[in-house]
Amino acid sequence: MDLDELRRRALRIHDLYDELNLQESGRVWTREEFVLGFMGDVGDLAKQVLVQEGARSVRPDSQAALEHELADCLWSVLILAHRYGIDLESAFVRTMGELEKTISARLDP
């Protein structure tokens, strides 16, 4: 699945959440609420990393939980990019290019 397919799938889930939120609370999430949700996802991801590294008790489904949290975080990033009108693919390519130049310039020749 490429980035466009991931984005389309993420937007479908976003739209379903909008429908559900409208039905349950009469409104959809704001961009600020999406950021807060993302922060929660990152916190959940951090907990799963601690499980993987042995700093928290391991559960039988720990690998699946880590996969789930990584997917949640990716979903949030895709949705935030959409909600802010960011071309994530271009931004990623540009940012990685800048980082590569910066890091390479700091490495010993």
Q: What is the pLDDT along the chain (109 residues), one digit of tens a residue?
A: 899 999 999 999 999 999 999 999 999 999 999 999 999 999 999 999 999 998 888 777 889 999 999 999 999 999 999 999 999 999 999 999 999 999 999 997 7
The end-to-end CA distance of the chain, in Å, is 38
pTM: 0.90
CA–CA dist 17, 69 (Å, integer): 18
Size (the chain), residues = 109
CA–CA dist 42, 11 (Å, integer): 20
- Residue 28 φ/ψ region, left for φ over 0, alpha for ψ in the -120 to 50 degree band, beta for the rest: beta
Structural domains of the chain, with CATH: 3-106 (1.10.287.1080)
In the prediction, which pLDDT does 57 show?
A: 82
Tally DSSP H helices, then E strands, for the chain.
4, 0
